[in-house]
Chains A and B, each alone.
Chain A
């Protein structure tokens, strides 16, 4: 055996032992999101959000489980090629079978979640999302860690109706794809309790291709003469173009959506003109400094690393979703997918690190209480193009009070899977 061969073998052994030793107490997290292509504009910030979450712990030696033992967190992004179900499953196979991850953050899109429901449950990989989609009693390992898409749409619009009785006419502008259809149903559900005093004046879905002609899309919306427009399906740039077109057509009412990239909007419309008129309800928007010091620290880290231009509130949404997993790891003495799930579901509330005590819910919609109903901050724009929290919706309370009105609308929109 010559010198070089020996050296190689030694190196290989050291490498193998080294990684297996590290693997013992490393927690592996997969992020299944578009990593390249057009949809990477969503997938990349989400992946970064999870990475920063992990780095915060790793900088202090890792995350401590219930026994006090620290685990480094290793985050890997897996490409799902713009949320197509087949690619979602392939990405999961790589993450679970090849890389042996214990936790995965994925989209809430029902079709994508359905594709991986079996594999995650069989392998006991705790799979969460920044929203609730395709949950159910057969799939205990699919959970929704926060109040996000699409339920947040319901709470946003209901909050606006409740806090502003002057709203009489609501236009719902959604894309004709599965996201958009879910959004339409949840918006309708949020409006359902108030239909005695407000009406839906526009709810025609549009072809995503027609967004290239924003004026053509905005003209019929304007003709329906709404006081509130809720939107879902535009990219940030399209949202800005839509607001610009509506303002040019003379619209003076309110806008609501999951989120807005205000920098793009104020490039086209003076911030003062839309101040107080644009509302959003992401799970949490870390760029707003007052809701939680921890998320605003996260925002600073993100901006330092990637620059302000690269910021997307989706990063904070992913970050927030991971903090629920974090609570489970900290309460568990066995930080595997199954162990963390047991710890999280040990009681019917979780002390969520960002949102405080939150109840498990969702059985009326999904047939299983696998969605953590975190309170939902609602944001409004100010005259400098920033956002501030205008209210925090007690999601569980609203749902208890209004589910009888809301459920039929969800059901009609094909969103209810509970028997």
Chain B
């Protein structure tokens, strides 16, 4: 269980997170939706330790995460696929994947994870030697997923994974990830502007606005509530 309580974060006096609280299961897909500038990326970065909270608490299965260095948070089982992917463009596909496993040195488990990722995204298996920067946007996004999974996380964080992708590819990727989550029993926290897509695959959802949670509930309900769509997601 990933829990966040009363998160407050400011950028030079401007509050990006303003008392945000939520819980996300480590066995399900949870969606966080909200308009541009609502604080979704900031939330992801705060969980990963990339930005510092003014107050509030983040816990994973009861253990405190906030205050830890980003690399320790990865070790604890949080992996982020950031907005813009942040791949290593001149390194090969395989090298990118292996770097994802920095915090998991055990070679046999690494091998197994790698094989599963290659099953999930066969393109990556075929292009192991290719430079990451030379692949198409969809392939790069697969690589970013794969690299995050190499860290064998308990909770996978996806920040706008669909950005810049064709709708077909988008759909395909998210469904692959939600399958993987179900099979391997890991949680997914997905942040999307394309709310409909996220809500379709998520079990639970939060609608955020101005740095706090405006509404939460089962994803299906939120998706079908015309009032929600009109006031928050339009």
Assess A/B contact in the complex (Cβ within 8 A): no
